């Protein structure tokens, strides 16, 4: 049986297994096309993240899907610079960035706003300690859970976010609730709170 006959058999067969194979191949082709398009357009094969916590409420909710553009392609505008140029993202000045906490591979990325950029040796905030190296000072938008900068608390204590730790910046708008489909099977039940 030649390749042409095998393809014809699976294409025309009413068999459950042939139908399952057709469906699997269709989904595989769609995923490859989507990943290729997103790599070309946004610089990432997987340009979407599900928001796992309420640290960005009210602008980004738990369970939202957020699209990310690669840091290599994006210019990151801090809140400080955004105020000067009247630039906002997700209803507030400056860009929301996705970064590896303390640069750790495999750690759950953090999605917070880039507040300002600090050079090595400069104070990280007014009357704050000097920065050990250059990087972004970040903060969640939720004033109840994130009253201080990440660098003042446990997320990135006294460590600015280095440019190489930034995965990308959030773009477009949020897609509500859809991220719960990804969070619930991983044991994150925050969508039900």
Per-residue pLDDT reduced to its tens digit, 53-91? 999 999 999 999 999 999 888 899 999 999 999 999 999
Average model confidence (pLDDT) across the chain: 88
Name the phi and psi angles at 191, rounded to 5: -65, -25
Q: How many CA within 13 A on the CB side of residue 110?
A: 23
pLDDT at 1 over 70: no
pLDDT at 175: 87
For residues 19, 23, 24, 30, the Cα torsion angle rounded to the nearest 10 degrees is 160
Q: Name 123's Cβ contacts closer than 8 Å, sequence gap at least 6.
A: 129, 130, 131
Domains of the chain: 3-42 (no CATH), 48-192 (2.10.109.10)
């Amino acid at each position: 049986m030649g390749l042409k006959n095998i393809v014809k058999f699976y294409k025309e067969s009413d068999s459950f297994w042939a139908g399952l194979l057709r469906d699997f191949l269709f989904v595989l082709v769609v995923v490859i096309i989507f990943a290729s398009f997103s790599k070309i357009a946004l610089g990432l094969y997987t340009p979407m993240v599900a928001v796992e916590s309420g640290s960005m409420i009210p602008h980004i909710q738990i369970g939202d899907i957020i699209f990310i553009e690669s840091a290599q392609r994006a210019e990151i505008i801090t809140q400080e610079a955004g105020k000067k140029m009247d630039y906002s993202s997700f209803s507030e000045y400056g860009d929301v960035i996705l970064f590896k906490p303390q640069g750790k591979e495999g750690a759950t990325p953090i999605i917070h706003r880039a507040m300002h950029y600090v050079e090595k040796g400069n104070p990280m905030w007014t009357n704050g300690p000097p920065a050990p190296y250059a990087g972004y000072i970040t903060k969640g938008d939720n004033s109840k859970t994130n009253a201080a900068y990440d660098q003042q608390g446990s997320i990135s204590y006294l460590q600015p976010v280095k440019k190489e730790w930034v995965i990308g910046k959030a773009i477009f708008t949020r897609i509500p609730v859809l991220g719960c489909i990804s969070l619930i099977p991983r044991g994150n039940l925050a969508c039900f709170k």
